[in-house]
Structure 1
Amino acid sequence: MEFWEILKAIILGLVEGLTEFAPVSSTGHMIIVDDMWLKSEEFLGKYTANTFKVVIQLGSILAVLVVFRQRFIDLLGLNRVFGTGKGSAAASNKGRLKLMQVIVGLLPAGVLGVLFEDYIDEYLFSTETVLIGLVVGAILMIVADYVYKRKTVRAETVDQITYKQALGIGLIQCLSLWPGFSRSGSTISGGVMFGLSHRAASDFTFIMAVPIMFGASFLSLIKNLEYFTMDALPFFIAGFVAAFVFALISIRFFLKLIDRIKLVPFAIYRIVLAAIIYFVFIL
């Protein structure tokens, strides 16, 4: 595999890592960067290119595990295994986010995703549907910030989330099954509307993302395992590493930023992105 092809893998990994967990739609960015510019399908083939996108998504998921590693150790009750010790602040579950709350948040989109996976893949993945998702998702984010300003009682940390809030966020996460809507965009908006601070909603979003994204990516990878060829392995590795590194940077930066700027700037960016896609691909 030539150097320029490896460079393309790094660029695609960069795009995936920077956009997967920000509320801006990684799908929309992949349309612009890959479909318009890099055109990975032309030298990899359609199915190998799709498999590559699954692999780099796994790199992004690994970055979340690194950032929230202690949180996942707590949720799974593995403090003794990892040496945090019984009785420590990390080991105590009292007043902390519980695994069942995460499961409650995951169930609605998880069930719908399994039931309608084939329909979504066949009918909803198009430039037009992504445009709709970008714009409608932006409107949802603007509404969420408006609702947030009117609330006086808020959960400032993810440990204060209730089961009712977790379920409400999970129901709104179902919107992310529409391509371009953005998983993080829908769940952060849902969290904010149900009374979480932007940082708490973001934390809950990233924690929920790991099982649902890993499950979807793993199933997709198994279905397309025949396209995971040795010839394409350097391309896959370069993309995976790039996605991991840039997702790590993106997540840490985003979590420091979100409570200050809220969601409206991201909504404006999405509308601009939708306009670019429209004028380049449709008009």
Structure 2
Amino acid sequence: MDFINILKVIFLGVVEGITEWLPISSTGHLILVDEFIKLNASKDFMEMFNVVIQLGAILAVVVIYFSKLNPFSSTKTAGQKKATWVLWSKVVIASVPAGVLGLLFDDFLEEHFHKFLPVALMLIIYGILFIVVENRNKDREPTTLTLGSLSYQTAMIIGMFQVLSLIPGTSRSGATIIGAILFGCSRYVAAEFTFFLGIPVMFGASGYKILKFIKNGNSFDLTQTTLLLIGCVVAFVVSIFVIKFLMNYIKKHDFKVFGWYRIVLGTIIIAYWLFFS
């Protein structure tokens, strides 16, 4: 096992664990990091790795929110169990648009958008949108203050915004949070629903990428399996801390700081692309 490769995977796991939940695009960051810190692995493996590593981050949500997400909990009343099933039904409905379009356009997106310039442009565009949306909503009171009061219609609208995140650099959490805030959700509800929405989407995307990897004539050897597991474990551990940080942060702050970060990073990337690539 190449020790340098392990260190690179640990770094990628840290990047994934941080950027999956902050609205700054995990896939976009992984693509950018890969330009400078390349794993000793095939292109097919990296395309699969950049998606499947997100499973580690998603499992952190399952662990942190297990009680809230578990409809079979013996400590819940019948009403609470019903409310949990309703929440899951909203999550599933909101997952459909990105799931269907992701399957249809995966190859096209891989070929045309997993590159420096599209990632940089999406970072900047959605960075500006975050600032505009937060300024627009500065003096507005949200109408949806709990997940229980989130309507099916709003859940579907948030799911449509999630489709935008199929383009790297957009950020799945960023797109869905913007959509949720625009349609009356509090930042807290927007963030939580975004977390839960990632569970079926990322399990489905990861399963699809693994099957596609195998269908293309590849197989998992011990080295690849180990690297993937290390990346997922690191992403899981880092995600635990990042999710707790974000939920505390948004109690007193808005998302504009992430918008400015996206704009600065996207500008730096474009400058690098113009002068050094």
State the TM-score, normalized to the length of structure 1: 0.89
Aligned to 1:198: 187
**Counterpart in 1 of 2:166?**
177
**Correspondence 1:59-78 to 2 at 5 A:** 59-74=56-71, 78=72
What is the distance in 2 between the residues matched to 1:212 and 1:205? 11
| 5+ residue gaps, structure 2 | none
Match of 2:252 in 1: 260
Q: 1-side partners of 2:53 and 2:142: how far apart?
A: 39
Aligned residues: 272
| 1:1-283 superposed matches below 5 A | 1-36=1-36, 38-40=37-39, 43-74=40-71, 78-79=72-73, 83-87=74-78, 90-93=80-83, 98-225=87-214, 226-283=218-275
Report the CA distance between 1:276 and its aligned residue: 2.0
Per-residue CA deviation, residues 158-194 of structure 1 (Å, 9 max, x unaligned), is 2221122112212222211121110100100111111
SS of the residue 1:260 aligns to: coil
Query: What SS class does the counterpart of residue 181 from structure 1 fall into?
Result: coil
- Distance in 2 separating the partners of 1:15 and 1:122: 23
Q: What's the CA shift for 1:60?
A: 1.1
Report how far residue 150 of structure 1 moved. 4.1
Q: Are the counterparts in 2 of residues 197 and 259 from structure 1 also a CA contact under 8 Å?
A: no
Question: Which range moves more in the overlay, 264-273 or 126-135?
Answer: 126-135
Give the aligned residue type for 1:193.
L
C-alpha distance in structure 2 between counterparts of 1:180 and 1:277, whole Å: 12
Letter matched to residue 81 of structure 2: A
Identical counterparts, % of pairs: 38
Please, what TM-score do these two structures have when normalized by structure 2? 0.90
C-alpha distance 51-111 of structure 1, shift in aligned 2 (>3 A) = closer
| Counterpart contact for 1:198–1:258, Cα < 8 Å | yes
Counterpart residue type for residue 226 of structure 2: P
CA drift of 1:153 comes to 4.6
- Is the 1:120–1:178 Cα contact (8 Å) retained in structure 2? yes
Q: Tell me, which stretches of 5 or more residues in structure 1 are unaligned? A: none
Cα distance change on mapping 1:46 and 1:227 into 2, 3 Å: farther
Amino acid across the alignment from 1:29: H
TM-aligned CA distance change 1:231 to 1:168, over 3 Å: closer
One-letter identity of the residue aligned with 1:157: T
Matching residue's letter, 2:273 = F
C-alpha displacement of 1:233: 2.9
**What is the Cα deviation at residue 237 of structure 1?**
2.2
Whether contact under 8 Å (1:131, 1:274) holds in the other structure is yes
